[in-house]
Structure formats: C-alpha cells, structure tokens
Amino acid sequence: MIAMGKKHSRTEWVLAVLPKTTLLTLFNLSLVGVAEGGGRDNGGEDVVHSLKVSLEDLYLGTSKKHSLTWNVICSMCNGKGSKSGGSIKCGVCQGSGMKVSIRQLGPSMIQQMQRPCNECKGSGETIRDKDRCPQCKGEKDVPENKVLEVIVEKGMQNGQKITFPGEADEALCCISTLLILTVLLF
C-alpha cells in the first residue's frame, strides 16, 4: 500500500487504494468494447424522423405508411467503393483517417483538435476516379426508398418515440442502429 507523502501524488494513492471496479463505477466507465478497438462503439448513429398525426389518430390509434430514404451497402462493389485493390492511402491524413489542427489561444496556450479527415471521410483511404464503382461512385452505399407500416397506438402522446431496431442506414463498419419516429401532432 502506498502512503500519502512527498514521493507519491494523490492520484497514485487513489489508484493504489481503490479497487479498479470502484474507479470504473465512480467515473461511470466500462471495460466493454476496449478489446475491440479502444472503447469505440460499433454502432452507427440513430436516425430520427417525424411522423405527423392528427389528434384523432392519437386518441383512437391508427396505422400509417411512412416513406423514407435510407442508405444501403452497394451491391455492385459490396461496400468497397471500388474494384479490388482500387483504394489507396489518403494523402491528406496519411491513412490515419483523422486531421489534427493546432491553434494558438494566447501566449503559451495552444489548442489541439482532432476531427475526421474531409478527404477520405475518416476511412484513411481514397479511391482513384478511374477505379470508382459505377453504381455508388465510391461512396460505398446507395440511397434506397423504403415504406414502413407504423402503428400509432391508442392514447400515444405528442412527442412519443417509436423505435425500429436495425432499420437505420447500413454500413460495413458498424451495426445498423435504430430508426426513431417521433409522433408529432399537426
């Protein structure tokens, strides 16, 4: 056990004394997903749409068809965006997928920001024009129209959400997430 003193900082003392599970709970952290990629989650972003209904629809309940456009993985190139071997390392981010920018805030103060690369959209790879897939044009996915049958249950509230798991945009990098329809009174 580390005794607090001049040789050890308070942080070292806390780390030595408290069990790791307590620290994880204290800071609301989790070890789930750390082995798969540094704690990143594998889900895409949820897609939110509005479903306009009348007061009568909320009171009595109804069934509505909702048309939307979503992105699906290109069937021609299987989501690669190019023919086999057509992608190259991005020259802007050197294949990291991230762009780092530094700006000076004041004397002896700088800010470093990291964001996805605009050129490769965070993938670290670019596709030469001649190698792009003719169907998706290198985007790896294509828009597709879809019609959902939505059940508005009797007594639903204005602003209530209806979720459709796995019905959001498709992507090779992540699991398809939720499509969320928000019931709005018009």
Parallel/antiparallel/unpaired status of strands 179-185 and 161-164: antiparallel
Burial class (CB within 10 angstroms; exposed 0-12, middle 13-18, buried 19+) of 160: middle
Reported residue count of the chain is: 186
What is the set of domains in the chain, with CATH numbers?
Answer: 1-30 (no CATH), 43-82+135-186 (2.60.260.20), 87-127 (no CATH)
- Degrees, nearest 5: CA angle 18-24-30: 155
Structure tokens that stand for 105 in this block: 């805030």
pLDDT at 148: 87
**Rg for the chain (alpha carbons), in Å?**
24
Residue 165 in this model has a pLDDT that exceeds 70: yes
User: Contact at 8 Å (CB) between 132 and 140?
Assistant: no
CA 34 and chain centroid, separation: 17
45-86 per-position pLDDT tens digit:
788 888 899 999 988 999 999 888 888 888 888 888 887 767
One-letter identity of residue 33: G
More confident residue, 94 or 171: 94
pLDDT at 114: 92
Residue 168 in this model has a pLDDT that exceeds 70: yes
Query: Which phi and psi (to 5°) does residue 108 adopt?
Result: 60, 20
pTM, two decimal places: 0.55
Residue 17 in this model has a pLDDT that exceeds 80: no
